[in-house]
Amino acid sequence: MEQLRIMLRQQGIFSLREVCDLYLEPGGTVSLKKYAEFDTVTPAMLHLKTKDDTMNFLFVDEGEINEEILRYTGKSKEWLYDELRKEGFPTIQDILYAEWSQTDGFFIKTYTNNKEGIRKGN
């Protein structure tokens, strides 16, 4: 029984009272259905609009530009320098981490953690 409880915890279930139906699969894994009252609430259930996330790209890692990722995304060094300047980061060397996504824009952390930049788009 403890082995079953371990398998349930690995799926985020910490009490058997949450489980409506449980199936032991041929490979030794467990498939289950939770009671509705224990099921995860989704944005759709709450009639909330959501957006699909896009991939994040690490453009600056420990003060160095990741040129391979820039090429992959079709962006240039000039574009990156311009965007970082707009965010208030005149030099790449001060940036520990700068990631970018089409939906969320930039998320930037500096070595000193006293300045953080977040911007949408582009």
CATH number of the domain residue 27 falls in? 3.30.240.20
- Whether residue 65 is predicted with pLDDT greater than 70 in this model: the reply is yes
What is the signed CA dihedral for 94, 99, 104, 106, rounded to 10 degrees?
A: 20
Closest CA to 15 of 49, 38, 36: 38
Q: What is the pLDDT of residues 67-118, one digit of tens each?
A: 999 999 999 999 999 999 998 898 898 898 899 998 888 989 888 865 545 5
CA–CA gap between residue 60 and residue 67 (Å, rounded): 9
- SS (HEC) of 45-79: CCCCCCCCCCCCEEEEECCEECHHHHHHHCCCHHH
**pLDDT score recorded for residue 113:** 62
DSSP-derived secondary structure letter, 22: E
44 in a structural domain: no
> Do 106 and 64 belong together in one domain?
yes
> Do 64 and 21 belong together in one domain?
no
Closest CA to 19 of 4, 36, 6, 34: 34
46 in a structural domain: no
> Do 68 and 113 belong together in one domain?
yes
CA–CA gap between residue 78 and residue 84 (Å, rounded): 10
48 in a structural domain: no
User: What average pLDDT does the segment 16-23 reach?
Assistant: 91
**pLDDT score recorded for residue 10:** 93
Partners of residue 91 on adjacent β-strands: none
CB 49 within 8 A of CB 88: no
> Do 73 and 100 belong together in one domain?
yes
14 in a structural domain: yes
> Do 63 and 115 belong together in one domain?
yes
43 in a structural domain: no
State the total domains in the chain. Answer: 2
The domain in which residue 10 lies consists of 2-38
- Percent residues over pLDDT 70 in the chain: 92
Lowest mean pLDDT among 4-13, 59-68, 112-121: 112-121
> Do 78 and 110 belong together in one domain?
yes
Residue 2: pLDDT band (50, 70, 90) is confident
> Do 32 and 77 belong together in one domain?
no
18 in a structural domain: yes
Q: Are strands 64-65 and 57-61 parallel, antiparallel or unpaired?
A: antiparallel
